[in-house]
C-alpha cells in the first residue's frame, strides 16, 4: 500500500514534468526547425547568446544551440568525435590546433574579435591595491587562469613583459601570490566578486558583465592580445548555415554586438 | 548468511542473468577502456611529471584525513540518530543526507558562502586568524562535507539494526552507556561502519566539484588528482589518461584492502 503510493506519486511527478518540458507542446512549428550547434569559449557567453538570437531572428526555422566550454577541451572533443557546425575560439592557438587536427578546413578561419587582459579587484580591496606594481605586495590573494587555458597563458606572458620592465623579481613575487589557477575566467570573476580573493587577472570583456568591479588596467606594451577565431567545422552537416553564421559574426552588425559586450575589434 | 543456490534450470534464471550481464558490461566498459588506453599511452611517462606525484600524494593524505574526521565526528552523530528519538529528527536526517544528492558544485558554492572570507562565518573565522578558501584545509573540508553523509547514513543503519533485546540485556547486566557503546554497539555495527567508510573514502578521493570551487586549484596545495585530470584534459588526453589510470589503480587497491577487512569482521544481526 505504502510502496504503491510512493510509486504512483513518482509516476505522476514524471508525467507532469515531462508534459511541461516537452518542446513539441510548446511550439507547433518546432518539427520543421533545423538546429545548428556552435562551440564557444565561456568568455563569449553573453555575446554569443545575443549573436545567436539575432541570427535566429533573421533565419526563421533555424535554432542555434551553443555549447560553452574551454577552447582546448572542445578541440579535443572534436578529435574524439564531437560534431557541430561552428567553432569559435578564445585564441589563435586553439584554431591553429583545430586546423592541424583537420577539424577545421585550412583557410576557413577568420579573426572576429580581440581581447586583452585587465586586473579586477575585490569590492573590499583589503590590501588597497591601486597600481600594477601592487600585485607583487606580500599577502595579496591573486587568482589567475591555469596555464593550459588561453587566459592563463596570456597572463604568464604578460607577467614576463612586466618582469622585464619592473624588475626586482616582480614575476616571482606575483606568482607567489597566486592562490589558485582557476579553470576559467568566470570563476575568477565570481570568486573575486565574492571577496574571497583580492584580485584576479581576466579578459577586459569580462568586466562588462561585472561593471561594479574596480579594475587596474594593464598598459598595452605590457599586455597581451588574444585573437578570437571563428570557422565552420569540417564535419558540419549545415555548411551553408555555418558559413552564413560566420559571415554574420564578422559583419558590421555582428561586430557591434561584440563591442557592446566589451570585445575589441578584430583589426 | 547469504546462501548460493545450485543452478538446476537455467531458463527461468535468464531473466536475471541477461539484464545482470548487460549492466555489468555497461558499468565496467568505460573503466576497462580507460585502463587499456591509459596503459597504451604509457603510465611511466606521466609518473615522472612532478604535478602528477604532487596530486597523488595530496589526494591520498587529504582523503585519509577527511575519513578520520568523518569517523570521529560522524560516529557520535550516527549513534545519536540511531539510539534516541527527538523532535524534528526526520528533518535533521534529511538535512544530513542532502549533501549526498547535492551536485558537488552546489556544495562548493555553499561552502564558499558559509566558510569563505566574506561568508557567513567568515568574520568569526577571520578573528581567529583562519582563512579557509584556497588552502589544503579547504580541500579536506570539501571532501568531508560531501563524503561524511555516506558514512553517517551507513553507520546509523548499522546501529539501528542491532536488536533492542541486546541493549536491554546489557542494561540488565548493569552496563553503563559507555560500556554499551564501546563493548557491544561498536563491535556489532563495525561491518556497517566499515562499509560506510569505504563509500565515504571513495567519494572523498574522487571529489572534484566542491574542491575546485571552495579550495581552488594550485599544484601541491589544492590540486588533487581529479583536478589534475580536469586540467590535463585541457592540454592532452594522454596526461589525463595517465592520472586517471593512477587514480583507478589506487582506488582499486584501497577498495580491495577494505573489502578484505570487511570480510573478516563479524556480521551484524
Å between B190 CA and nearest CA of chain A: 31
Dihedral over Cα of B18, B24, B27, B28: its sign: negative
The pLDDT tens digits of the residues spanning B104-161 come to: 989 999 999 999 988 889 888 888 888 899 999 999 999 999 999 999 999 999 999 9
What angle separates helix B136-160 from helix B50-83, to the nearest 10 degrees? Answer: 40
CA B138 to chain centre: 16
> Cβ B213–A182 below 8 Å, yes or no?
no
Residue A177 to residue A185: CA distance in whole angstroms: 18
* Cβ burial, residue B157 (10 Å; 0-12/13-18/19+): middle
Of A143, A187, A195, nearest to B118 by CB-CB distance is A195
DSSP string, B32-73: HHHHHHHHHH-HHHHHTSHHHHHHHHHHHHHHHHHHHHHHHH
Strand A225-232 relative to strand A86-89, pairing: antiparallel
Q: What pLDDT does B60 receive? A: 95
Q: Chain A contacts of B219, Cβ < 8 Å?
A: 181
Parse chain B into domains and list their residue ranges. Answer: 40-97+147-209+221-264
Distance separating alpha carbons of residues B164 and B160, to the nearest angstrom: 9
- How many percent of chain B have pLDDT more than 90? 50
- Domains of chain A (ranges; CATH) run 30-114+227-260 (3.40.190.10), 115-225 (3.40.190.10)
Give A90's contacts in chain B (Cβ within 8 Å).
none
Q: What average pLDDT does this structure show over B218-238?
A: 84
Determine whether the interchain pair B235/A143 forms a contact, defined as Cβ–Cβ distance below 8 Å: no
Interface mutation vs chain B, best among A179, A193, A197, A199, most B CBs within 10 Å:
A179
Inter-chain CB proximity A148 and B237 less than 8 Å: no
The total of other beta-carbon atoms located within 10 Å of residue B74's CB is 27
Asked whether the predicted pLDDT for residue A102 surpasses 60, the reply is yes
CB-based contact (8 Å) between A194 and chain B? yes
User: Are B217 and A196 within 8 A, CB to CB?
Assistant: no
Task: Return the pLDDT at A13.
Answer: 54
Query: Can you name the CATH fold of B40-97+147-209+221-264?
Result: MetI-like fold (1.10.3720)
User: Between the CA of residue A161 and those of A147, A157, A203, B56, what are the distances in Å?
Assistant: 16, 7, 17, 34
CB contact under 8 A, B234 and A191: no
Dihedral pair phi/psi, residue B161, rounded to 5°:
-80, -5
Q: Are A131 and A162 in contact (CB under 8 A)?
A: no
Contact A196 B116 (CB under 8 A): yes
Count CB neighbours of B54 within 10 A: 18
CA terminus-to-terminus distance, chain A: 71
Which residue(s) pair with A178 in the sheet?
A: A142
Task: Using a CB–CB cutoff of 8 Å, tell me whether B59 touches chain A.
Answer: no
Cβ separation of B112 and A80 shorter than 8 Å?
no
Closest-CA residue in chain A for B111? A196
Give the one of A148, A181, A196 whose C-beta lies nearest to B118's C-beta: A196
Of chain B, the end-to-end C-alpha distance in Å amounts to 10
- Classify burial at A135, counting beta carbons within 10 Å of its beta carbon; exposed 0-12, middle 13-18, buried 19 or more: buried
d(CA A39, nearest CA chain B) in Å: 15
Selected residue with higher pLDDT from B184 and B264 = B184
CA B51 from chain centre, in angstroms, equals 24
What is the C-alpha to C-alpha distance for residues B83 and B189, in angstroms, rounded to an integer? 13
> B216 contacts in A (CB within 8 Å)?
143, 179-182, 191
Q: Of B116, B216, B222, B239, which to mutate for an interface test with A (greatest number of A Cβ within 10 Å)?
A: B216
Nearest CA in chain A to B220: A180
Quickly state the pLDDT bin for A22 (edges 50, 70, 90): very low
Q: Which long-range contacts (CB under 8 A, 24 or more apart) does B139-142 make?
A: B139/B58, B139/B62, B139/B211, B139/B215, B139/B222, B139/B224, B140/B62, B140/B65, B140/B66, B140/B69, B141/B111, B141/B115, B141/B214, B141/B215, B142/B107, B142/B108, B142/B111, B142/B207, B142/B210, B142/B211, B142/B214, B142/B215
**For residue B235, what pLDDT band results from cuts at 50, 70 and 90?**
low
pLDDT score, position A73? 85
Q: What is the arithmetic mean of pLDDT over B170-196?
A: 90
Does any CB of chain B come closer than 8 Å to the CB of residue A215?
no
Kindly report the number of other CB atoms within 10 A of residue B183's CB atom. Answer: 13
- Considering chain A, what is the average pLDDT of its residues? 88
Query: Residue A80 and residue B218: Cβ atoms within 8 Å?
Result: no
Helix/strand/coil for B102: coil
Residue B267 binned pLDDT confidence (cut-offs 50, 70, 90) = low
Q: Check pLDDT > 50 for residue A27.
A: no
The sign of the torsion formed by the CA atoms of B263, B266, B268, B269 equals positive
Q: B197 and B223 in contact (C-beta within 8 Å)?
A: no
Q: Tell me how close the Cα of A175 comes to any Cα of chain B, in angstroms.
A: 11
- Determine whether the interchain pair B213/A187 forms a contact, defined as Cβ–Cβ distance below 8 Å: yes
For residue B238, what is the nearest residue in chain A, using CA coordinates? A76
* Dist CA A141 CA B217 (whole Å): 13
Task: Return d(Cα B40, Cα B242) in angstroms, integer.
Answer: 10
* B235 interfacial to chain A (CB closer than 8 Å): yes
The interface predicted TM-score of the complex, written ipTM, equals 0.75
What is the DSSP code (8-state) at residue B180? I
Put simply, whether A253 touches B (Cβ < 8 Å) is no
A224 neighbors A160 (Cβ within 8 angstroms): no
Measured CA to CA, the distance from residue B2 to residue B201 in angstroms comes to 26
Q: Is the pLDDT of residue A238 over 50?
A: yes
Helix (H) or strand (E) holding A179: strand A178-182
Query: Closest approach of chain A CAs to the CA of B122, in angstroms?
Result: 10
Question: Higher-confidence residue: B267 or B226?
Answer: B226
Taking alpha carbons only, the member of B135, B148, B143, B149 closest to residue B62 is B143
C-alpha–C-alpha distance, residues B63 and B67, integer Å: 6
Amino acid at each position: 500500500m505504502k510502496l504503491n503510493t510512493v510509486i504512483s506519486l513518482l509516476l505522476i511527478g514524471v508525467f507532469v514534468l515531462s508534459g511541461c518540458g516537452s518542446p513539441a507542446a510548446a511550439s507547433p512549428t518546432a518539427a520543421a526547425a533545423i538546429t545548428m550547434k556552435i562551440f564557444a569559449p565561456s568568455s563569449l557567453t553573453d555575446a554569443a547568446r545575443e549573436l545567436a538570437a539575432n541570427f535566429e531572428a533573421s533565419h526563421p526555422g533555424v535554432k542555434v544551440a551553443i555549447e560553452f566550454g574551454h577552447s582546448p577541451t572542445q578541440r579535443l572533443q572534436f578529435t574524439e568525435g564531437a560534431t557541430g557546425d561552428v567553432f569559435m575560439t578564445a585564441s589563435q592557438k586553439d584554431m591553429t590546433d583545430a586546423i592541424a587536427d583537420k577539424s577545421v578546413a585550412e583557410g576557413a578561419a577568420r579573426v572576429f574579435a580581440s581581447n586583452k587582459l585587465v586586473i579586477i579587484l575585490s569590492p573590499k580591496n583589503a590590501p588597497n591595491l591601486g597600481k600594477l606594481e601592487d600585485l607583487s605586495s606580500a599577502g595579496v590573494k591573486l587568482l589567475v587562469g591555469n596555464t593550459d587555458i588561453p587566459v592563463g597563458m596570456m597572463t604568464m606572458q604578460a607577467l614576463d613583459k612586466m618582469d622585464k620592465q619592473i624588475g626586482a623579481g616582480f614575476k616571482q613575487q606575483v606568482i607567489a601570490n597566486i592562490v589558485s589557477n582557476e579553470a576559467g575566467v568566470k570563476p575568477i570573476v565570481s570568486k573575486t566578486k565574492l571577496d574571497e580573493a583580492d584580485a584576479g587577472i581576466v579578459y577586459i570583456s569580462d568586466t562588462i558583465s561585472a561593471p561594479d568591479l574596480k579594475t587596474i588596467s594593464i598598459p598595452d606594451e605590457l599586455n597581451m592580445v588574444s585573437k578570437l577565431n571563428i570557422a565552420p567545422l569540417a564535419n558540419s552537416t549545415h555548411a551553408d548555415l555555418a558559413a552564413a553564421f560566420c559571415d554574420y559574426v564578422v559583419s558590421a552588425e555582428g561586430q557591434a554586438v561584440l563591442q557592446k559586450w566589451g570585445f575589441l575589434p578584430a583589426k | 548468511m547469504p546462501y548460493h543456490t545450485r543452478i538446476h534450470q537455467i531458463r527461468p534464471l535468464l531473466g536475471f542473468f541477461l539484464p545482470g550481464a548487460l549492466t555489468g558490461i555497461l558499468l565496467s566498459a568505460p573503466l576497462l577502456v580507460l585502463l587499456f588506453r591509459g596503459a597504451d599511452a604509457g603510465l611511466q611517462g606521466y609518473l615522472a611529471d612532478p604535478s602528477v606525484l604532487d596530486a597523488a600524494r595530496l589526494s591520498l593524505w587529504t582523503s585519509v584525513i577527511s575519513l578520520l574526521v568523518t569517523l570521529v565526528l560522524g560516529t557520535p552523530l550516527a549513534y545519536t540518530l540511531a539510539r534516541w528519538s527527538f523532535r524534528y529528527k526526520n528533518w535533521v536526517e534529511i538535512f544530513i543526507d542532502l549533501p549526498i544528492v547535492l551536485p558537488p558544485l552546489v556544495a562548493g558554492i555553499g561552502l564558499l558562502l558559509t566558510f569563505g572570507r566574506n561568508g557567513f562565518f567568515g568574520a568569526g573565522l577571520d578573528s581567529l586568524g583562519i582563512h579557509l578558501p584556497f588552502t589544503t584545509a579547504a580541500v579536506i573540508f570539501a571532501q568531508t562535507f560531501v563524503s561524511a553523509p555516506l558514512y553517517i547514513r551507513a553507520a546509523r543503519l548499522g546501529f539501528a539494526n542491532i536488536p533492542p533485546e541486546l541493549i536491554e540485556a546489557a542494561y540488565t547486566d548493569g552496563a553503563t552507556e559507555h560500556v554499551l557503546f564501546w563493548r557491544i554497539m561498536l563491535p556489532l555495527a563495525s561491518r556497517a561502519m566499515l562499509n560506510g567508510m569505504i563509500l565515504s573514502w571513495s567519494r572523498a578521493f574522487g571529489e572534484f566539484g566542491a574542491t575546485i570551487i571552495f579550495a581552488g586549484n594550485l599544484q601541491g596545495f589544492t590540486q588533487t588528482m581529479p583536478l589534475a585530470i580536469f586540467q590535463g584534459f585541457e592540454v592532452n588526453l594522454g596526461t589525463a589518461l595517465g592520472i586517471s589510470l593512477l587514480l583507478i589503480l589506487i582506488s582499486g587497491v584501497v577498495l580491495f584492502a577494505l573489502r578484505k577487512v570487511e570480510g573478516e569482521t563479524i556480521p551484524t544481526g
